[in-house]
Amino acid sequence: PTNCCPSLHVATVYICCLPYLYEQKGKFICLFLWASAIAISTLTTKQHYFIDIVAGLGMAVLMHFIFFWFFRIRARA
């Protein structure tokens, strides 16, 4: 009945689909749509507010780019 900002449901599903962004665009689109359906379902069941969803997505994107950047730098060294 209470919200939690950011939504870890949303962050987790988007973190799982973001690695497909670069190599398998078809899978990425399907997984992104599925992740968006899960994000919307947290709103419709009144588990979260809209800001929780936006914060979860932002956290997922930030973590994705930090880790991909970090591992690319380490791979070059």
Instruction: Please name the amino acid found at residue 59.
Output: M
Helix (H, G, I), strand (E, B) or coil at 60: helix
pLDDT reported for residue 30: 92
Q: What is the mean pLDDT of residues 49-53?
A: 81
Q: Which residues 6+ apart lie within 8 Å of 64 measured at CB?
A: 14, 15, 18, 19
| Distance of alpha carbon 74 from alpha carbon 18, whole angstroms | 20
Predicted confidence (pLDDT) per residue in 16-36, tens digit: 888 888 788 889 999 999 999
- Of residues 13 and 42, more confidently modeled: 13
Q: Is residue 19 within 8 Å of residue 63, measured between CB atoms?
A: no
- Of residues 76 and 25, more confidently modeled: 25
Q: What is the dihedral of CA 76, 60, 33, 39, to 10 degrees?
A: 170
